[in-house]
Structure 1
C-alpha cells in the first residue's frame, strides 16, 4: 500500500468582490448566517478574504468562488476558482 497521506478537500467559499484595485489580488466579502447567542436571532456574519486572481478578470460586484491554498503573501491564503456572476455594468 502506498505511503501517501490522505489529503482533505480544500475549503471553498462563495462571496462578492468588494475590491479589485490591486494587481492580481481581489478582496472577497463572504457572508454567512449565524445564531446570535444572546439575542437568539439569526444575524449575518461577514468576513473579508484576500484572494489571488492570476488573470485580473474580476471586478467589484462580481460573485466568485474562492478556494484555500498555501500562503501566497502576508494576507493572501485563497485563490480564485471561478466567476459565478459578473456585476452589472
Structure 2
C-alpha cells in the first residue's frame, strides 16, 4: 500500500529535527454546497534542519519517530539545491 503524501506550509521549526506543517484541505459542504477550507497540523521529521517557516514542503507517512511524529519531510530537487 503506498504511503500518503501531503503538501503544506511549515509553521514552526523551533524543535531539533522537527517541523510543524499546516496542511489545508478544501471540500464542498454536503448541504450548503459551499467550499470549506480546513487545516490540520502535522509534526514531521526534518533530518538536517533545512526547512524554514513559510516554505512549502511535501510530507510522507513513515513509521513512528517519536510520540507525535509519524511523518517525514520529502527532500525534493528544488529544496536540495
TM-score of the aligned structures, taking structure 1 as reference length: 0.81
Q: Which string of whole-angstrom CA distances, capped at 9 and with x for unpartnered residues, describes residues 8-49 of structure 1? A: 111100000000000000000001111123422011110100
In the other structure, the counterpart of 2:45 is 52
Choose between structure 1 and 2: higher helix proportion.
Answer: 2
Counterpart-to-counterpart distance in 2, 1:27 and 1:56: 12
Larger-gyration structure (1/2): 1
Please give the root-mean-square deviation of Cα atoms over the aligned residues, in Å.
Answer: 1.7
List structure 1 runs of 4+ shifted beyond 6 angstroms. Answer: none
Alignment of 1:1-89 (within 5 A): 8-82=1-75
Q: Tell which has more relative contact order, 1 or 2 (C-alpha 8 A, sep 6+).
A: 2
Counterpart-to-counterpart distance in 1, 2:77 and 2:28: 27
Counterpart-to-counterpart distance in 1, 2:59 and 2:15: 17
Unaligned runs of at least 5 residues, structure 2: none
Are the equivalent residues in 2 in contact too, given 1:63–1:85 (CA < 8 A)? no
TM-score of the aligned structures, taking structure 2 as reference length: 0.88
Aligned residue pairs, count: 79
